[in-house]
Structure 1
Amino acid sequence: MSPVASPTIGTQFGGLTFFAQSHPGELCGSNGLPLTPNSITIFGQAQFLKTISHPYLCSYLDIIRGKHDEVISISEYLPQLVNSRPLSLDEVISIASQTLQALNYLNELGIVHRSLCPENIVLTDRGHIQLFNYGLYYMTNGGMDVSFPIGHPKYLAPEVYLGGRGAKSGSKVDVWSLGMIILELALGKQLWSDLKLAQCMRKVLSLLHIKVSVLERLAREHGCWEDCQEFPAELHDFISKCLSVSPCERPTPRQLLRHPLFQDVSQVDVNKHSKEEMQYQVFPGFQSHRIPVYQNVKHPLLERSLQELYYLWHLAGGDVQAELKKQGLIRTKAPILSIPNLVLLEGTVFGQVRDQTSMLDLRVVPLPLDTLYQRLVHVPLTSYYPLVEIKSEIISKEDGEQLEAASLPLIIRERDTEYQFHRIVLYDRLIKGYPYKKAAILKEAHKDIPPLYRGHIWAALLEVDGDVDGYYVAVDKETPTHTDRQIEVDIPRCHQYDELLSSCEGHRKFRRVLKAWVVSHPQYVYWQGLDSLCAPFLYLNFNNEAQAFACLSAFIPKYLHNFFLKDNTAVIQEYLAKFSHLIAFHDPALENHLVGINFIPELFAIPWFLTMFSHVFPLHKIFHLWDKLLLGDASFPLYIGLAILQQLRDTLLESGFNECILLFSDLPEIDMERCVTDSIELYCSTPRSVTYRQHELQPDASADNEINTELVMSPLPVAELQSELCPRISGADLLELLQKKKSKVVTVDIRAVEEYSRGTVAGSIHIPWSSASVPELSTLQASKGRIIVILGAHALHSAQVSWH
């Protein structure tokens, strides 16, 4: 099938940048830790904006924190402004209605625009409006985290100037701004277009003392009063109400939506209609079955979500900061030019020239999608609509290149635009079919997991479903508990190199999710390390605390069952004993060396397994590690730990006790892809009974499971496990190994002659325990590399022989 032709560019992104206010000197908070930079606070606060979806709002796509407290926001953007062409009165009324609907939606979310002006209202190709840059006031904590005032001076309400910097603005300030904008659009001319900034501010304040209506004053001042009198009575009344000087008399956006001006204007029910559905028409005869009928046939790439387009645009070479540099919004400066003349001991500086580039410049830099279109121009149409129920030989042939890319290293696949496109499109369909497509998601996850949908895929792998939001809301996360103090201490030390988790919003979400888990699991207690365990889930579901909590709640029983009991000694000791047995099974030389220098797993492995390595490795490595961990059972972490030791094997064999302690206090760089590959190979080559644990969450017994109970593993005391150097194997696993065509098993029967003569495993070597000695056992050296199984009547005898 021929590739899709390059479309006319209709959708693009816009970026704008500003600088957060720096803290003076090295100030510390009440907890004794340095204050969080305002740029990080803004970064965390702005994440919520990415969840907002409304037909009349430009979607936020990303927030980037740059150098020197610079913040860059990227959102949907269209270059056509609302005042770019003359508008009819019907169009002006429609714009007023759509703007009020958008403002009302923002107010319901606790957001005030405060920057409403014609430059922040754009027009779509269907004639609808979309508000732009509506999150600046929200993300900067009402302007407290930046050094510049927020809002266009000409369109700001008078009370904003009277309230000063610290006063918080409500929804009615946006109503004033809307009244000014609608008046300009209706008159077809700008107000005070030839006045300077200070003059505009004086003009706004002068409106506080007039005796006539603001509408009349402005119209007469610009010689347009006669034109205003020709307005419909409803429009005249609407503008007058918006421009009420007293905030008490000025209505809210919700109240204005019921104004008679809009009685014939339809309004969008956001709860029923998504932003994407606004692109479709619905015929009256198909109300119950929404059938999308495109008004204009577009390139199928434009059907993808904006989040997908932005992610692929980045992979295709899109660089926001490079685009801003081209427009002069980011400039480099020699460090020597930033040196102040005087620095006091508390950190205050003097004589530092103010950098002009740090001044507010709200120019919007368009980020066109041409690069992405060119990168995917040869992708066939069928790739945009993958089949998940049936297969096609024709489509399979077209996907040949994708199969070739699947053999490349993971880091290359994650940066390959076309490969990620195919994976994203496929996973998007599978996730929408969850839980019915759970098996297909599991199958694809064995190949790889695209970073864009990692949070949703992990939730599917952990079988998270049901009303997770309702359950999370019902959990009491506010009442103080005895664990609050420890949580407060742990959070500022957990993955704080990451800007998202180190933000104030990140700390708040951390606290809520951890408290929810502790409260909803009264049988457990809070152990240090639970915060590290929560970090990957919170990072991937930052704007969905309920899903982060649900994933954590599903992860712990599967991999850390009973690890968080108040007395978890037996659980951890059994786990570490099994880890020692696994080392001895695969690498006896290493295990003998570690035992010889008394470097036991208790000294280094508890943080590994208690946090599933999330305390040891940075987040970007944890993601790749857990991608495979979630596909395995509860024993798989043991193999990951063994794979790590194998990468350090040469160093460990040459080190003594003290050197090993130093080595694990600052763990060397670990090749994570090799670690994952090795752990899978180790897992596949090990009998399941070797890692059997009685404290593991046992799956439900299958009805058709007819294995003889005498052939399966039974629980053992921890002391007995610790006394044994080598692991035990179940009879069922032994029989399975012996039945293989090329069996690697060597069985050594150490029972007495009388017992041996009654019957034994075919091909076994008979070395009676009573006469077993090192010379006799040395004959087994020829079987090096094979699995040696010792058969005995008494466990103690078998354990003693295994030590040799």
Structure 2
Amino acid sequence: MRSLKDAQLGAFTFFASALPHDVCGSNGLPLTPNSIKILGRFQILKTITHPRLCQYVDISRGKHERLIVVAEHYENCLSIFQKPENAPSAEKVLQIAYEVLEGLEFMNKNGLVHRALGPNNVLMDCKGNVKLAKFGLYHMTDHGADVDFPIGYPSYLAPEVIAQGSFHPSDPSRDEAPLPSGPKSDVWSLGILLFELCAGRRLLQNIDISERLKFILTLGCMDDIVTVLAEEHGCLDTIKELPDSVLELLRKCLTFLPSKRPTPAELLQDPVFNSISCHYTPFQKPVSLFSSSLRCAHLVLPDDISDLCKDNDEDYLSERAIDEVYHLWCLAGGDLEKELTNQEIIQSKPPISTLPNFVLEDGETFGQGRDRSFLLDDTTVTLSLCQLRNRLKDVAREAYYPLLEDEQSSLPQSNSSNELSAAVTLPLIIRERDTEYQLIRIILFDRLLKAYPYKKTLVWKEARVDIPPLVRGLAWAGLLGIEGDIQAKYEGIDKDTPIPTDRQIEVDIPRCHQYDELLSSPQGHIKFRRVLKAWVVSHPDLVYWWWSCLDSLCAPFLYLNFNNEALAYACMSAFIPKYLYNFFLKDNSHVIQEYLTVFSQMIAFHDPELSNHLNEIGFIPDLYAIPWFLTMFTHVFPLHKIFHLWDTLLLGNSSFPFCIGVAILQQLRDRLLANGFNECILLFSDLPEIDIERCVRESISLFCWTPKSATYRQHAQPPKVAGDNGFAKTSTYYSSDYQDMPKTDLSREPLSLVDLKAEVSPRISAEDLIDLCELSLSGSSKRNKTGKPKIVAVDIRTAEDFNRGHISGSINIPFNTTFGPENEVVQCPAAGGLQSYRGRVIVVISHNMKSAAMFAAHLVKMSFPRVCNLDGGINKLKPTGLLTVPSPQI
């Protein structure tokens, strides 16, 4: 999206047609409101960028089907020339015609027709160049079918458009909708506009619709419509004085028969523009972030490099993209309805004035007439940026051009730098509403993403702080490592040929996050269907699972990349293998069961008291956690919570969801401990409100306390090629998967599902134990300067075996002194001094894994947290030379 520069933000409003409340569609569901249909179609207009078109920015849906559209705006329009004293020269007329045709041609290439051309919709920037406004009104309203007013101005509509008359789907007198207008209808409108410029007056302004129609149809019998119009309006002499080139252009535009009228593309090639076209360079569409083309190919340095360093007291905010400025305007207190109300565009009425009509027995009608406020008001209100500029006045200019390699701070120095630094410590929801803070973060991420993938490490670093909502879609793509020409790959997938899964997709989509206006729109359903089908077709070895999982997983990516299906598909395709590897196999029972067993061990590791209670009442993860992990919590939380949750999830490895699940349980801990099985089932059937920021914070803490190998799974994603994701290792807790680490003799060994389920506590590898104990290969201990979790090794071998060699700093609690011959408890382990180590990570070491598992299970039963077993036992450590022998007593 281009920068604001000398443009302004403008807003206009209209109402969509209301639908009857008691009518349902063919699927039995209520009809989609027309305002939501318009909202969905509008989205594509935000991607239509051209120097001759006003950029669309946003659309807001209000009460009673009201819609407010925000777009680039300019104060001057073509009306300033429609006066005799301001009549433009012939050269200016040709320039205006050429620029309008440029905009129309680009629209036509994107499947759009203006249909609302008029002097007020042809704006002029400060350099006198044309900017077409409201060019998307015809498209977003489904060619006028979703509103109660006609699209376009009768004075400028082509004859074939006027002959069709108006149409509304609810009109019983019309069986079929008229065909949509084509590009040639805009050429007629342009001809009328140019004729008015040349004549210096408005045409057909004081004639009613019926007379206007008769007059236009009469023109069909004339060979020279330009001359007829000039005679009718008394400006024949003025028209005759025009150059032949301008007259010829007017005649071609005002050709009565559409079959003989040229299109904008054909008219641009007309010789009349030969002297003008040479001054215009063809528009080059900016290269997208994920493509095979060079994004910097268009960059040109000035002849004098010092020009880049000059400070002319520029308006730095105007250099930012229009959507950024609007986003900041909203954060600074901007209110669209308030602005329109202040300009009396929106007027409130007393309730008595809104009563409907009623009819007495004699047929006499009482009540209000048609409310004209529900028709289109063509007025565009300029949104004042004064409040925003005042809010940002203390932000230094360095904030707009941050140094990416600054080691001190990512926040610029300014008068409010202390406040900005303090904002980092505030809750995320407050930071996302702080205008200055968001300006800094948006600019920083914008620069980092433009340098992606070269700056992917810094993207990860800054994402650990937070991700600005405005750039979340691209930031997520960066975190998932999306690269290459994703559009070509997506287009190469067959999304049209019917497949057996189509029916299930059609059933699932209307039930997926339909509270959201964007995803519930018909355009949202179409995009849902295409992205999901692309994934199914491109993954023939996997299946579309039966619990509406894929549509829920797709929803966040589609919402953030609504106008970029290829990126939504690419993100989804990268996300699923990382966090849900093999979850969608036709037979995934072994994958799911392993996942749930590891999760159960994580509950016992972090909250043994809760684990004991849930196991006692039989409330196992199989009963509640499957939809959590199959959809990565998108089936549980609304989108606005998922965004905050996934901001952190995408920084973590595939084991991070376990910590999220435990954090959710801990928020419900008191209620779970106080309830039995039936009450817990009811509790999870309608999950209570979860504090997502607290959930994220506690998930990170749980992750820090969890040894990497404790969440090892055989069915996790295989190791990546070295260097694929090395930048992720720069973080303390956002590290790569344990599976990605090179395997050694000290690594954790695979365990069968039966054996895994038999153990309450997780196992950790010998290399994890060495790392957590901070032992060097020489056997000497290092000081704990890294803030790693404290750990205690509990060796349960006999005293004789312990004295032959043990881990430095470990304590000995022999198994045979705790358990009897029949594995009955004869002495509490806490009596051996273990109680003082409560809270540390307790690693049980033995030469017999069954004994270790039994000892650990007993500690869990006694509510000792963070208990785990050493995989392979003491035998794994013997070859390392890390075992020490106590010195003999003198």
* TM tier, smaller: over 0.9
1:240 aligns with 2:251: yes
In the alignment, is the contact (CA less than 8 A) between 2:8 and 2:72 conserved in 1?
A: yes
Worse-matched range after superposition: 119-128 or 726-735: 726-735
Inter-partner Cα distance in structure 2 for 1:287 and 1:685: 49
Aligned to 1:482: 500
Aligned to 1:83: 79
Q: What value does the CA root-mean-square deviation take over the aligned residues?
A: 2.7
1:249 aligns with 2:303: no
Q: CA deviation at 1:11?
A: 2.5
Aligned to 2:173: none
Name the SS for the 1:592 alignment partner.
helix
Name the SS for the 1:460 alignment partner.
helix
1:11 aligns with 2:57: no
Aligned to 2:388: 372
From 477, 492, 513, the counterpart of 2:531: 513
Inter-partner Cα distance in structure 2 for 1:351 and 1:395: 61
Aligned to 1:792: 846
Aligned pairs for 1:600-749 (under 5 A) are 600-700=620-720, 709-739=744-774, 741=783, 744-749=790-795
Q: Counterpart amino acid of 2:769?
A: L
Aligned pairs for 1:83-482 (under 5 A) are 83-85=79-81, 86=86, 87-164=88-165, 165=167, 166-167=177-178, 168-208=180-220, 210-266=221-277, 268-272=280-284, 289=300, 291=302, 298-333=314-349, 338=354, 340=356, 354-389=370-405, 397-398=413-414, 399-482=417-500
Aligned to 1:579: 599
Inter-partner Cα distance in structure 1 for 2:42 and 2:142: 10
Worse-matched range after superposition: 554-563 or 784-793: 784-793
Q: Once the two structures are superposed, what CA deviation does each residue of 1:401-454 show, in whole Å capped at 9, x if it has no partner?
A: 422221221111111111111111111111110000101111111111001100
In the alignment, is the contact (CA less than 8 A) between 1:113 and 1:174 conserved in 2?
A: yes
In the alignment, is the contact (CA less than 8 A) between 1:53 and 1:274 conserved in 2?
A: no
Inter-partner Cα distance in structure 1 for 2:103 and 2:492: 30
Name the SS for the 1:49 alignment partner.
helix
In the alignment, is the contact (CA less than 8 A) between 1:689 and 1:729 conserved in 2?
A: yes
Q: CA deviation at 1:782?
A: 4.0
Name the SS for the 2:611 alignment partner.
helix
Q: Once the two structures are superposed, what CA deviation does each residue of 1:518-544 show, in whole Å capped at 9, x if it has no partner?
A: 111111111121100000000000000
Inter-partner Cα distance in structure 1 for 2:21 and 2:815: 78
Q: Once the two structures are superposed, what CA deviation does each residue of 1:694-746 show, in whole Å capped at 9, x if it has no partner?
A: 11113337599997833211211112211211111111122222237577433
Aligned to 1:777: 829
Q: Counterpart amino acid of 1:635?
A: S
Q: CA deviation at 1:400?
A: 4.4
Give the direction of change, closer, same or farther, for the CA distance of 1:668–1:790 in structure 2 (3 Å limit): same
Inter-partner Cα distance in structure 2 for 1:496 and 1:310: 26
From 584, 589, 600, the counterpart of 1:564: 584
Name the SS for the 1:18 alignment partner.
strand
Inter-partner Cα distance in structure 2 for 1:372 and 1:182: 39
Aligned to 2:521: 503
- Consecutive unaligned residues of structure 1, counting only runs of 5 or more, are 1-7, 276-285, 344-348
Aligned to 1:597: 617
Q: CA deviation at 1:801?
A: 2.3
Give the direction of change, closer, same or farther, for the CA distance of 1:518–1:270 in structure 2 (3 Å limit): farther
Inter-partner Cα distance in structure 2 for 1:250 and 1:394: 58
Q: CA deviation at 1:485?
A: 0.7
Aligned residues: 781
Name the SS for the 1:179 alignment partner.
helix
Give the direction of change, closer, same or farther, for the CA distance of 1:200–1:374 in structure 2 (3 Å limit): farther
Name the SS for the 2:422 alignment partner.
helix
1:751 aligns with 2:747: no
Worse-matched range after superposition: 362-371 or 589-598: 362-371
Inter-partner Cα distance in structure 2 for 1:758 and 1:604: 48
In the alignment, is the contact (CA less than 8 A) between 1:769 and 1:797 conserved in 2?
A: no
In the alignment, is the contact (CA less than 8 A) between 1:532 and 1:611 conserved in 2?
A: yes
Taking structure 2 as the reference length, the TM-score comes to 0.84
In the alignment, is the contact (CA less than 8 A) between 1:338 and 1:353 conserved in 2?
A: no
Give the direction of change, closer, same or farther, for the CA distance of 1:353–1:693 in structure 2 (3 Å limit): farther
From 14, 35, 39, the counterpart of 2:35: 39
Inter-partner Cα distance in structure 1 for 2:35 and 2:115: 20
Q: Counterpart amino acid of 2:381?
A: V
Inter-partner Cα distance in structure 2 for 1:618 and 1:579: 23
Q: What is the percent sequence identity of the aligned residues?
A: 52
Inter-partner Cα distance in structure 2 for 1:394 and 1:62: 30
In the alignment, is the contact (CA less than 8 A) between 2:90 and 2:243 conserved in 1?
A: no
In the alignment, is the contact (CA less than 8 A) between 2:59 and 2:67 conserved in 1?
A: yes
Give the direction of change, closer, same or farther, for the CA distance of 1:574–1:96 in structure 2 (3 Å limit): same
In the alignment, is the contact (CA less than 8 A) between 2:155 and 2:205 conserved in 1?
A: no
- Consecutive unaligned residues of structure 2, counting only runs of 5 or more, are 168-176, 288-296, 360-364, 727-739, 775-781, 820-824, 859-890
Give the direction of change, closer, same or farther, for the CA distance of 1:710–1:769 in structure 2 (3 Å limit): farther
In the alignment, is the contact (CA less than 8 A) between 1:55 and 1:274 conserved in 2?
A: no
Q: Once the two structures are superposed, what CA deviation does each residue of 1:549-597 show, in whole Å capped at 9, x if it has no partner?
A: 1000111111111111111111111111111111101110000000000
Inter-partner Cα distance in structure 1 for 2:30 and 2:477: 35
Aligned pairs for 1:521-532 (under 5 A) are 521-527=539-545, 528-532=548-552
In the alignment, is the contact (CA less than 8 A) between 2:54 and 2:132 conserved in 1?
A: yes
Name the SS for the 2:76 alignment partner.
coil
Inter-partner Cα distance in structure 2 for 1:274 and 1:359: 37
Worse-matched range after superposition: 595-604 or 317-326: 317-326
In the alignment, is the contact (CA less than 8 A) between 2:17 and 2:147 conserved in 1?
A: yes
From 25, 30, 37, the counterpart of 2:26: 30
Q: Once the two structures are superposed, what CA deviation does each residue of 1:655-713 show, in whole Å capped at 9, x if it has no partner?
A: 11011111111111111111111000110111111111111113337599997833211
Name the SS for the 1:363 alignment partner.
coil
Q: Once the two structures are superposed, what CA deviation does each residue of 1:626-680 show, in whole Å capped at 9, x if it has no partner?
A: 0011111110111011111111001110011011111111111111111111000
Aligned pairs for 1:50-69 (under 5 A) are 50-69=46-65
Give the direction of change, closer, same or farther, for the CA distance of 1:320–1:708 in structure 2 (3 Å limit): closer
Name the SS for the 1:746 alignment partner.
strand
In the alignment, is the contact (CA less than 8 A) between 1:748 and 1:790 conserved in 2?
A: yes
Name the SS for the 2:806 alignment partner.
coil
Name the SS for the 1:28 alignment partner.
coil
Inter-partner Cα distance in structure 2 for 1:796 and 1:760: 19
Name the SS for the 1:361 alignment partner.
coil
Worse-matched range after superposition: 299-308 or 730-739: 730-739
Q: Counterpart amino acid of 1:410?
A: L
Q: Once the two structures are superposed, what CA deviation does each residue of 1:67-115 show, in whole Å capped at 9, x if it has no partner?
A: 1111111100101011214222211110000000100100111100000
